Structure 1
Amino acid sequence: MKSIKKYSPFIIILEMMIIAVLTALLIREFNKPVPLARDQRNLITHFDQLDLDRIREMIHRFKEGKGDNLTMLEWGTDSGPYIHDFYDDGRELHWTVDSTRDWAGYDGKIEYVCRAIQLTEVEEFYKVELSDCENQPEDFKFNPVSFRKDEL
């Protein structure tokens, strides 16, 4: 028993040091900055500010004549995803909407080939608009995806 009492203050101090180190490591982990980018920049799924910034970058690249590509997964309230595949070569935009996995709606793919894209702002949304599209009237504008302002 004497040997236990002799070492107990040492053990208590050692335990307190271990707890202090672990606490410091946890505090450091919680204070790490949130990353400003996602691992898969070309995959749009959250429709948040980071995704909107990526859309703006894509539009900017197109206007500079540079190519780009994106994939978007847009979930409905009570259905499967709409899958948007987008690519451009800096001159033409190819936007394919695949709703074959949507349980409640149209089951097919639609591809738009257009020569103009812009981001328009309305009261509650930022809307991506494609125009100057093949096989469409001159004033045709296609709005494949929108971002709710209150969710950014």
Structure 2
Amino acid sequence: MPAGFGTLPLHFALPDLPRTAALATALAPLARAGDCIALWGDLGAGKTAFARAFLRALGVVEDVPSPTFALVQPYDTDGGPVAHFDLYRIEAEAELDEIGFDAALDDGIILVEWPGRAGRRLPDDRLDIVFSLDSSGQRAATLTGHGDWPARLDGFAP
């Protein structure tokens, strides 16, 4: 995760998928149009599981596929438009124009897997969630809020 400003990180153990879903469900009502939620972590760390639960918490009932091949999956939710990006296959920042990255951020909430590939286009004001998986298979998430996220995360407990 890039260096920057923000809250002291909040750390949560994610021993199973229901706990990951509980974290996403608790965060979903805090998100609003113009928010970027950057999902950092290696393959299998829980990014897509979190995104699915986040979208379900906002009322999405249809299938929520990983956007690995499509690069972006848009959703109309109870909380407004949400675009789920997977930038793993992005090779240059200019490709973000082709998939509507900035427009999606202007219109609603964006969930971004592999956010490091957005380079300078990743908004400074965002919520970073770093998903980790240790050698014993235990998952965890560390949240760092930037912009007005520190105030929204004050007292946060899923």
TM over 0.5, yes or no?
no
Higher RCO (C-alpha under 8 Å, 6+ residues apart)? 2
The structure richer in strand per residue is 1
Over alpha carbons, which structure has the higher Rg? 1
